Amino acid sequence: MQAGSGQKREVRNLLRTAAARVTLSVLLATLLAASAARWWLGDLAVHFRLQYAALALIALVVLVWTRSWSWAAASLLTLIINVIAAASILGPIPDFVAAGHAAAPRTTNVRIVALNVFYHNSQYERALTFVRSARPDVVVLVEITPQWRSAFEQLRAAYPYQYYSAALRHLTFGSEVRGALLLSRWPIVHAEPVTLGPTTDPAITALLSVQGHDVRVIGVHAAWPLGLAVSRERNAELVALAARARSATEPCIVAGDFNITPFSPYFRRFLTASGLVWGAQGAGWQPTWPTFLPPAGIQIDHVFVSRGIQVQRFARGPGVGSDHRPILADLVISAMRGRS
């Protein structure tokens, strides 16, 4: 009996120690996230609010069971902070999004898909199969190499209007041509590359003629903010994109891999500066990266729309061999402007 009791106490102590360490780690990460607006490491830490909340909840259960009340209180505080931060972002769609469309006399339905194919990925057929099955009207593809460009030529009949924007990228080992590819069922009136930053693939801005009306589509792959310099580059890119979107006189859709989650203060600044609406608002948590480590999943692939556009649906697609999952949005566009 005594031996059994001793083993139970030992297991209890081990669980209490492990839960206390988890609580301390998550609390420190939460405090680091509070510096997101001032420090690039804080901006990296802020993306994992839901993971922090989940770990804090697990630790809290263990600490209550082991009657470690001080650590349980710290775990509860950490849980509350992260749940509140997540709830403020992942709540329902604001009324003005629907209201902006309610009285519109003319509307057009648009389905858009965005995907970072991952330039090392060679599973071309999986991506092609997804696009064929999803049947979007517009497709934004990033990290497109010449090999991927050639693969998507198979969709030329379904998407006769295409624009490829690429540049030579200098990588750690060698160099490679990479960029963005826009596929459209509708005519591309005008398209041009957009240079965002020295480490970033060229983006695309295009004017589409959608049933005789102008729609602006911007496809983007922002810099990955790993390090002070590249973090500043990504933030500057968001500022430039916001200005470009706000200056658009047509209904505007901005889609792609932004390398930022809605928990970042720079994300919220982008929304404010651009006047755009986040397409996944109210759709719940939709982690798109990394597919190889689902528990650490964060949502960095997005669709943003101008206020004359209603988002009817936002969803992720299946894995296609990339480290990203594709995203899909069904849009209803009002306040259309005809071509002269």
The per-residue DSSP string of 242-271 comes to HHHHHH-SS-EEEEEE-S--TTSHHHHHHH
Q: Which of 34, 57, 90 marks a domain boundary? A: 90
Q: Any idea what the CATH number is for the domain that residue 142 is in?
A: 3.60.10.10
- Count of Cβ atoms closer than 10 Å to residue 174 Cβ: 7
Count how many domains the chain has: 2
C-alpha 257/C-alpha 322 separation (Å) is 13
Using one digit for the tens of pLDDT, what is the confidence trace for 125-146? Answer: 999 999 999 999 999 999 999 9
Same-domain status, 303 and 250? yes
Same-domain status, 45 and 118? no
Using one digit for the tens of pLDDT, what is the confidence trace for 23-65? Answer: 999 999 999 999 999 999 999 999 999 999 999 999 999 999 9
Using one digit for the tens of pLDDT, what is the confidence trace for 274-319? Answer: 999 999 988 888 999 999 999 999 999 999 999 889 999 999 999 9
Look at 3-7, 30-34, 243-247 and tell me which has the smallest mean pLDDT: 3-7
Whether residue 177 has pLDDT greater than 90: no
Q: Which of 59, 90, 121 marks a domain boundary? A: 90
Same-domain status, 112 and 67? no
Same-domain status, 125 and 48? no
Q: How confident is the model at residue 92 (pLDDT cuts 50, 70, 90)?
A: low
Question: E strands, the chain, where?
Answer: 108-116, 138-144, 161-170, 175-184, 188-194, 203-210, 213-221, 252-257, 277-278, 301-305, 309-316, 327-333, 337-338
Look at 101-105, 167-171, 241-245, 286-290 and tell me which has the smallest mean pLDDT: 101-105
Whether residue 164 has pLDDT greater than 90: yes
Same-domain status, 285 and 143? yes
Whether residue 88 has pLDDT greater than 90: no
Q: Which of 90, 105, 123 marks a domain boundary? A: 90
The reported pTM is: 0.90
- For 33, the domain range is 2-90
Torsion sign over Cα 261, 265, 269, 271: positive
Same-domain status, 68 and 198? no
Same-domain status, 82 and 159? no
Q: How confident is the model at residue 4 (pLDDT cuts 50, 70, 90)?
A: low
Whether residue 91 has pLDDT greater than 70: no
